[in-house]
Structure 1
Amino acid sequence: MTDTVFIVIAVFRPDPDFLATQLASIAAQSHRAIRLVAVIADLTSAPLVEKLCGDVGIEAPHIHVPDETLDAVRAFEAGLSEALLLAPPESAGRAFFALCDQDDTWHPNRISRGLTALRESGADMVHSDARLINDAGQEIAPSMFDFERRDRNPGLRGLLYRNNITGMTLIMRRRVVEIALPFPPQSGVHFYHDLWLGLIAAALGGVKLLPEVLVDYRQHGANAIGAVDRSDAARPGLWRRLRGLNAMWLRREAASYALARYLAQSLEGRLAEVSAAGGLSHGAAHIKPLRPYLARRRGGTTFLFDALRFATKKQYGLARIASGFGLVHTGRLVWALRRSLTQGMVESLTGFDVRLYSLSPGMPPRHPVLEKHEPARSVKFEGLVDLRKRPRWRPEFSASLPRLTVLVPTLNPTEIFAGILTAIDIGVGLAERGYPVRFIATDLPMSSPSASRAFVLRRQSVGASAEVAGRITLHCGVQSETLPAHRDDLFLATAWWTAHVAQELITTQGYKQRRFYYLIQDYEPNFYAWGPEYADAVASYALPFEPIFNTRLLHDFMREKGYALGTGTPLCFHPAIDIARYSSGERPRRIGPRRLALYGRPEVPRNMYAMAIEVLARFIEAEGLGPEDIELISVGLSHAPVSLPNGLTLQSLGKLPWEEYPGFLRTLDFGLSLMYSPHPSHPPIEMAASGVRVVTNGFGPKDLSRLSPAIISAAPDVMALTEALRRAWAMGPVAEEERRIDLRALGLPPAEMLDLLAGRLATDLPGHIG
């Protein structure tokens, strides 16, 4: 029987010439028994792939078009799942799997050399070196390993310091794929499929490196991750590296350490599951090198020894990573220890006396002995004022054309929530309409610039041209001393402090545009108690800007409060909720107690978690409900289970994966989702479209019951909400027509708003490339 290699390629808005070259190199492989599995991650490129496969002689490609657009990680996950289905279990010893990027070129012996090495070494995975080329096919570097200074034999733990496996060079055995699927969940893309697959293989039969070049890796502007030059010429000087050892460096190290720990624990859990199911014999997997990540308390010294070992081998980049991991690991233990202990005796007694004297007589006594102590050290003003309002970079007016500059607090995928996502979508939408767009992260450094860029580019509309990506740039305003700029740049602020940043840049740096655009998505002063943040948020609404309102409700609320709303007709758009995603699915038939879900976010005051718990308790008592009548679930943010009357418990599921969310909602009968704000939160609308009868609260002009009879809106007080929940309980199931929600009552569709905004920018942003 011939060894069959299943080649998985992920296709997302490809350059047709690059894709044709790649497919031709697959067709020219010296090993002929191949089966191509193409995942059409952009949902539109299937005809192109079929045509090109026919042109180069690839027979019977398996084309998989998913239900929604996929990033690279999920596309390869879907492709490997499809490949497993094509490879019958009885062929396990003769079925192998390889990964392929859409714009590289394979050497003719890429597959045959990998198969030979797998047989001879007994490893579970083989990967090779690659040559770097540019768009035109010209050589950038003869070896990716040398270019990136990769460790050629990192071992299992070393993969978590810096992955040396490039997915498009690997070939692996079937059991690696079977154990690796499904990939561990993640929000955004902070680890890639090749690392997870490599960890699985390294824990099993091992990973072998072929030192020869078997692939040409094409480096260009649209790479999902790209190669990183770590040559001496590209490395910053010693002084710059030392300056970089600050709180931001520590934050990056903490993020990297957290990812490594997450993957190590995911690997241990996955192997334990497979062993328990009989898929692995005892001792077949070896994860001892990962003990520093798996131990709850120990392990810090291992990282430090690794750092010394790397330093003696002059692998200083890896030494820095290992020492950073050791520092974070140790800091984690110190933090936990401090939290577990009380304050020292003197500090505790002093603190108690301060509170005691504040009651009577109202001030501490004068004590001559204590007053002879050294005066308290002065504190820096930076620790007392809100530096978010000031730009941390200087503009360098070197850009060749003006851009719309979108100021967002963060560009890290795991920290991006609905508000920032809306701002990103506006920027990307304007790039699709011909405007060059610059995103600047104002508050937090980018943990992975390539992951951030990939995340932003995934927000493009289906069918967007390849030119759009070239109009979008991402920059870190936290770590960069200067950023490229043009005198005619136009700013879009996305939170009250970024509005102050925009205004300071305009007034102090000589920008010609005197007004900025301001994306207003909530009444932000109400996020704070009366104080400086409240005052600064209010002050942002007095700056010279043109507003863009997330819903007409918020516009009406601001108008009622007497705020000036720009020089023209304000733009108002409705939430970008895909109603069909929720309303089109069929609700499953269920037996047993009815299910109620609370949108529970204890850390977010405007979601009124405590009030929602009180409402649930009163509702249960009033209706006399028990475990046989109702099941209570909380989604949003994780919290401890809550004991409620009559033996009921509210169990928290935390944040649900995006792809599972609609299916979960369709299993619910009732919802309780509160938002003490003029902004309409998404959950009540998503629940109603899913066939859930949901109770929410009104606020000023907000009354979501106008959108659908499935939504019951009540005054934001305990008794009114309890009565609303009792009415919902007595009502019948949600009818199909109640699930069809027209969001135009809340504003323009986002695309129409972007069309209007693009028209206005034609005069505000000269020199655009529409």
Structure 2
Amino acid sequence: MQAEQPLVSVVLAVFRPNPDWLRELLFSLNRQTYRPLELLIRDDCPDCPTDPEIFRECVTAFPWQLVKGQKNLGSNGAFQELTSMARGKYIAYCDQDDIWEDWKIARMVRRLEETGALLCCSDLSVIDEAGRELAPSITRLRRRHVFREGAGLAPGLIYRNFVTGCAMVMRAEMAKAAIPFEPYMVHDHWLALFSAVQGEIAFEPAATVRYRQHGGNQTGVLTGVRTKEDYSRLRIELFLSRVRSLSERLGSREELRGPLEESVRWARAREDYYRHPDPASAARLWADRQADRSVTLFELFMPMIPAFLFGRILNLLK
């Protein structure tokens, strides 16, 4: 007799969703071949709540629960609350406008069970607003997005995340242990780093999600950056705040002590050079270029780039 499969909690945060896209997502959840499932939803927009009828209409194959937020918590806060509510052995994080392949959860849970990894991430295909495929893999559009798997991944995750929340399933006990989520990191980045500190990350090469790319969900590293001031605030200052916070929380871990000290030193050198672009600060920044050579080179030349040209360069990089 086959043993019953473990419960998977799908957690979905919604904020003024496009109703048609939300229906497409919910129907794709309803078609999942894996059982048992539960769906936990947090409506994070108290001023303009989502009609519960859409969930009654689209989710009929397993139980669901809708929490109407009394205040807006933001993405991190909403997913943290949902994580604490989850009853399953595994948690699958979900965005409001994508489409899941029918076999997504089954494939990723099997990978977790086979490998003993703490978190499994997968590739994603990319679609436009009308659902037309733009790329069979997210790596076609994000040239620096390189998937990794195994142990010892935490130092690299300080700088760059390869885990996308909607294409991630992880052990619930590990996700709950990561609460409170880091305020200077998106939830998927924090959960990936926390899992990598504790154990291994598995990778499913198939694209398990059709990621819908549209104007409201751009999450690339240069999102929101239009000027040098934006770049400083969102790329330099935010990174420094992040690594300082991580140093306080994870700096006692042997495998992270050195990498975090290096990241703080590089972050300070970046901030110093941006504010005072002189030969001495340039030398200090160049000395720590091993943290990220391409970013270091770009920022060394940034003070010399005219404002009008800086915006054009950013558009090319995006």
User: Do these two structures clear the TM 0.5 threshold for a shared fold by scoring above it?
Assistant: yes
The residue identity in structure 2 corresponding to 1:166 is T
Contact 1:161 1:260 in 2 (8 A): no
Give the conservation status (yes or no) of the 8 Å contact 1:253–1:321: no
How far residue 118 of structure 1 moved from its aligned partner, in angstroms, is 0.7
Q: Distance in 1 between matches of 2:51 and 2:104?
A: 24
Q: Deviations over 1:399-457 (max 9, x none)?
A: xxxxxxxxxxxxxxxxxxxxxxxxxxxxxxxxxxxxxxxxxxxxxxxxxxxxxxxxxxx
2:16 aligned to which of 13, 16, 22: 13
Note the alpha carbon deviations across 1:70-109, whole angstroms, 9 max, x for none: 32121111211222xxx2xxxxxx6100100000000011
Residue deviations 1:245-274 (CA, integer Å, cap 9, x gap)? x999777653254044135225417xx7xx
- 1:123 paired with 2:135, answer no
Give the AA of the match of 1:52. Answer: F
Structure 1 residue 196 and structure 2 residue 190: aligned?
Answer: yes
Where does 1:374-393 land on structure 2 (aligned, <5 Å)?
none
Choose which of 59, 64, 67 in structure 2 pairs with 1:61: 64
Distance 1:218 1:169 in 2: 12
- The answer to whether the Cα contact below 8 Å between 2:45 and 2:72 also exists between their aligned partners in 1 is yes
- Which of 201, 214, 235 is matched with 1:220 structurally? 214
Give yes or no for contact 1:125–1:206 (8 Å, CA) kept in 2.
yes
AA in 2 matched with 1:222: G
Aligned to 1:151: 146
1:96 aligns with 2:90: yes
Q: Does 1:320 align with 2:271?
A: no
How far has the Cα of 1:321 moved from its partner? 3.4
Pair 1:292 & 2:259 matched? yes
Contact 1:292 1:298 survives alignment (8 Å): no
Distance 1:78 1:202 in 2: 22
SS for the counterpart of 1:48 is coil
Task: Tell me by how many angstroms 1:222 deviates.
Answer: 1.7
Q: Aligned equivalents of 1:164 and 1:67: distance in 2?
A: 33
In structure 1, what is the Cα distance between the partners aligned to 2:29 and 2:235? Answer: 39
Q: CA deviation at 1:324?
A: 8.1
User: Structure 1 pair 47/323, CA: closer, same or farther in 2 (3 Å)?
Assistant: closer
Q: Could you tell me whether the CA contact under 8 Å between 1:97 and 1:172 is conserved in 2?
A: yes
Say which SS state the counterpart of residue 161 (structure 1) adopts. coil
Q: What per-residue deviation string (whole Å, max 9, x for no partner) do you get for residues 317-365 of structure 1?
A: x53236789x9xxxxxxxxxxxxxxxxxxxxxxxxxxxxxxxxxxxxxx
- Call closer, same or farther: CA 1:267–1:209 in 2, change over 3 Å: farther
* Contact 1:96–1:171 (8 Å) recurs in 2: yes
- Pair 162,191 (structure 1): closer, same or farther in 2 beyond 3 Å: same
Q: 1:61 to 1:208 in 2, by over 3 A?
A: same
How far the C-alpha of 1:54 sits from its partner, in A, is 3.5
User: 1:164-563, aligned counterparts within 5 Å?
Assistant: 164-184=162-182, 186=183, 190-223=184-217, 225-227=218-220, 254-268=236-250, 288-294=255-261, 318-321=292-295, 479-480=310-311
Cα distance 1:82–1:255, how it changes in 2: closer, same or farther (>3 A)? same
Aligned-residue RMSD, C-alpha: 3.6
Residue equivalent to 2:129:
135
| Aligned-partner Cα distance in 2 for 1:323–1:76 | 36
Any unmatched runs of 5+ in structure 1? 88-93, 230-243, 273-285, 311-317, 328-391, 395-477, 483-770
How far off is 1:151 after superposition?
2.2
Number of the residue aligned with 1:77: 80
2:23, 2:54 within 8 Å by CA — same for their partners in 1?
no
Preserved CA contact (<8 Å) 2:243 2:263: no
CA contact (8 A) 2:27 2:59 kept: yes
Give me the whole-angstrom Cα distance separating, in 1, the residues matched to 2:192 and 2:11.
16
**1:22-75 CA deviation, whole Å, 9 max, x = no partner?**
011111111021100000101267662443343341443111122212321211
Deviation digits for residues 288-321 of structure 1, max 9, x if unmatched?
1452324799889xx989955x9xxxxxxx5323
Separation of aligned partners in 2, 1:220 and 1:60: 30
Deviations 1:693-717 (A, max 9, x none): xxxxxxxxxxxxxxxxxxxxxxxxx
Q: Report the number of matched residues.
A: 280
Match of 1:114 in 2: 108
> Aligned residue for 2:275?
none
For 2:85, the aligned partner's letter is E
TM-score using structure 1 length? 0.33
Contact kept in structure 1, 2:91 and 2:171, CA below 8 Å: yes
Deviations 1:553-610 (A, max 9, x none): xxxxxxxxxxxxxxxxxxxxxxxxxxxxxxxxxxxxxxxxxxxxxxxxxxxxxxxxxx
Normalised to the residue count of structure 2, the TM-score between the two structures is 0.75
Alpha-carbon distance change, 258 to 200 in structure 1, aligned in 2, over 3 angstroms: same
What pairs with 1:503-652 in structure 2 (closer than 5 Å)?
A: none
**Is residue 393–residue 481 contact of structure 1 (8 Å, CA) maintained in 2?**
no
Q: Which has the higher contact order (CA 8 A, sep 6+)?
A: 2
Q: Is the 8 A contact 1:161 1:321 kept in 2?
A: no
